[in-house]
Amino acid sequence: MISIIASLFVALTLTPALCKILLGKKIDKEHTKESWLVVVLKRYYDRALAGALKFRGIVIASATTATIAALLLASTFGTSFLPSFNEGTFTVFLFAPPGTSLVESNRLATNVETQLGAIEGVHSVSRRTGRAERDEHAEPVSSSEIEVSIAEGFSQKELRVKIDKVLAAIPGITTMVGQPIEHRLSHLLSGTPAAIAISVYGEDLNKLRAVAKQIEKVLSTVQGARDVNANREVMITSLPIQYRHAELASFGLTPAEAAEQVREAMYGEVVDTVNQGTRQYNLVVRLDPSQRETIEQVRDLLLRGRNGATIRLRDVADIGPERSSNLITRENAQRKAVVSLNVAENSNLGDLIAEVKLLVDPIVQQAGYTVHYGGQFEAQQSATKTIYASGFAIAILILMLLQISTGSMRAALLVMVNMPLALIGGIAAIYITEGGGFVSNTIALFGFGGTYIAPVISIASMVGFITLFGISIRNGILLVNHYNHLMQNEHVPIRKAIIQGSMERLVPILMTALAAALGLAPLAFAAGKPGSELLAPLAIVTLGGLLTSTILNLIVIPAGFSLVFEKAAMKNLGASHA
């Protein structure tokens, strides 16, 4: 916004002043003579313009057909929140069964780390097993994260396939592969490192667990899904202690006092602090490990009553064991199970979530529970609604401004025709550069064989369309306003005004489009390189739309202006002569 205001200020102040200084005394026949390129362009454009005015109905019908065809093609596209990142690093998550010791978890992770490091094209491998309890994202020692850096010159897609092969050969662990920024973004959006998080809400833990496992099993067969994982919850052996209040009271103890003694015996009590240089260490006293290994040893723990009497824990409490969940998650006071998954190669978020809903909704409804779909999908839906709403409001505002500028609602609507003309090129640019390739996708689209891999429209592409609409409307304003100027101020007949105005505005329109294209070209050519993921789709859409809107604007707008205003102008001319 600031840059646009600054450029407007420069155009209204500095540019006229420089023209006065640099060109004021030098505009003569030599300097007004057109170059050979302009002469050639005008020669061919004159013929095309004559044909467009002669067959104006066909021109308008063709433009309408092309717009409808482009929209139909766009209906086959997939959607995503953000384009796929090319960060140059993979983050590999390893989840061993809960309760796995640090020694065993380290052994498993070291094995995977060694195999990943041996892959050709891997520059370096680093690992972290577990996260500290006070870490913002605390993880048990059964979880490991491996950062795999890609060497320069190697394909990210090919390395991803090799990493998947290594992980598939490791039994007994759950794995997930992502990228650092991508992982953190998903974690911020849904609390999980995956692109899609399916939260199922219910009260019965056993039923909730069964529903989550059923969803995981069903989604594992979906071709566009990968890294399908129900929440990392397993049944573990726990040792609940239920105190019998009457027996405790006979020894002068309360449940809280008895529980405190058990806690101190099992986990220890800080009795002093040891100073060693600048560091301090707590001195903890607790039972020897050999005295707290079995359930019977826990049952035989001695408790001391208020009068000095000692009793065994089994005499005043009922002690497990029992099977229970190691993880109970809640949201808004409701128990929930989370199933996460990522988008596979050659798939897209929009198509995948549609297929997931068709499979998951019946399972959840049959169980009588509720489901919520979060992650990047939710963020994409929110951003899309915002763009659509703001885009519609801006379009109405532009139409009002155009009506004020041109003095006619019909002329304003005619200028707005540039928006669908730009849409054609933007959609075509996405189709050519995304998906499975222009040739193979076209063959598959018409049913001649192969698989159609849907091109993907991301939020970055949608922003590119909004930028494109603004640029394309400017070209329409240049033509329509000049037509009106010639007819109203110079009293030129409408047909001659259209031809003269179009020829005079040919060079300015081409130059503005060319300047914008040259500015966007480096961004478009950088597609696929790290750091260009957001700007490249925007530039590609804008370049494609500039091409079609500039060419069609010079043909369709004159034809449309003639079709809409020529009869009225002829009537006014006849009335004035009468």
Domain contains 321: no
Residue 236, classified by CB atoms within 10 Å of its CB into exposed (0-12), middle (13-18) or buried (19+), is middle
The model's pLDDT over 92-108, given as tens digits with 9 standing for 90+, comes to 988 887 778 888 889 99
Name the residue range of residue 129's domain: 88-178
Per-residue pLDDT averaged across 219-231, rounded? 86
The model's pLDDT over 442-479, given as tens digits with 9 standing for 90+, comes to 888 888 888 888 898 988 888 888 888 888 888 888 88
514 and 422 belong to one structural domain: yes
The model's pLDDT over 353-368, given as tens digits with 9 standing for 90+, comes to 989 999 999 999 999 9
434 and 540 belong to one structural domain: yes
Structure tokens at 411: 């002329």
Domain end position, chosen among 294, 316, 338? 316
Amino acid, single-letter form, for residue 420: P
The pLDDT of residue 136 = 64
Domain contains 322: no
| 228 pLDDT higher than 60 | yes
142 and 70 belong to one structural domain: no
The pLDDT of residue 227 = 84
Per-residue pLDDT averaged across 137-157, rounded? 84
The pLDDT of residue 137 = 66
Query: CA distances (Å), 242 to each of 43, 239, 265, 305, 314, in order?
Result: 97, 10, 17, 18, 10
The model's pLDDT over 378-432, given as tens digits with 9 standing for 90+, comes to 888 888 888 888 888 888 988 888 888 888 888 888 888 888 888 999 999 999 9
63 and 136 belong to one structural domain: no
Give residue 578's pLDDT band: very low, low, confident or very high (50, 70, 90). Answer: very low
Domain contains 223: no
Q: What percent of the chain has pLDDT over 70?
A: 93
CATH classification of the domain holding 116: 3.30.70.1430
Domain contains 21: no
283 and 411 belong to one structural domain: no
Pairwise pLDDT comparison (24 vs 350), residue with the higher score: 350
The model's pLDDT over 275-299, given as tens digits with 9 standing for 90+, comes to 988 888 889 898 888 888 888 888 9
462 and 508 belong to one structural domain: yes
Structure tokens at 183: 């992982």
Model pTM score: 0.75
Domain contains 499: yes
Listed ranges 105-114, 434-443, 559-568; the one with the highest mean pLDDT: 105-114
| 556 pLDDT higher than 70 | yes
**Torsion angle of the four alpha carbons 53, 56, 62, 67, in this order, in degrees rounded to the nearest 10:** 90
Residue 103, classified by CB atoms within 10 Å of its CB into exposed (0-12), middle (13-18) or buried (19+), is exposed
The model's pLDDT over 203-217, given as tens digits with 9 standing for 90+, comes to 888 888 889 889 999
The pLDDT of residue 276 = 86
The pLDDT of residue 577 = 47
The pLDDT of residue 390 = 85
Per-residue pLDDT averaged across 186-209, rounded? 79
458 and 548 belong to one structural domain: yes
Distance CA 496, CA 480 (A): 14
Q: Which of 165, 222, 178, 172 is nearest to 198 (CA)?
A: 222
Pairwise pLDDT comparison (221 vs 326), residue with the higher score: 221
Give residue 326's pLDDT band: very low, low, confident or very high (50, 70, 90). Answer: low
Pairwise pLDDT comparison (528 vs 547), residue with the higher score: 547
Domain contains 323: no
**Torsion angle of the four alpha carbons 157, 160, 162, 167, in this order, in degrees rounded to the nearest 10:** -160
Angle between helices 376-406 and 459-489 (to 10 degrees): 0
Q: Compute the chain's Rg from CA coordinates.
A: 35
Domain end position, chosen among 152, 178, 204? 178
Domain contains 563: yes
| 4 pLDDT higher than 70 | yes
Per-residue pLDDT averaged across 506-515, rounded? 89
Domain count, the chain: 3
Query: CA distances (Å), 49 to each of 57, 164, 233, 559, in order?
Result: 13, 58, 70, 8
Structure tokens at 495: 């047909």
Q: What percent of the chain has pLDDT over 90?
A: 18
Domain contains 395: no
127 and 45 belong to one structural domain: no
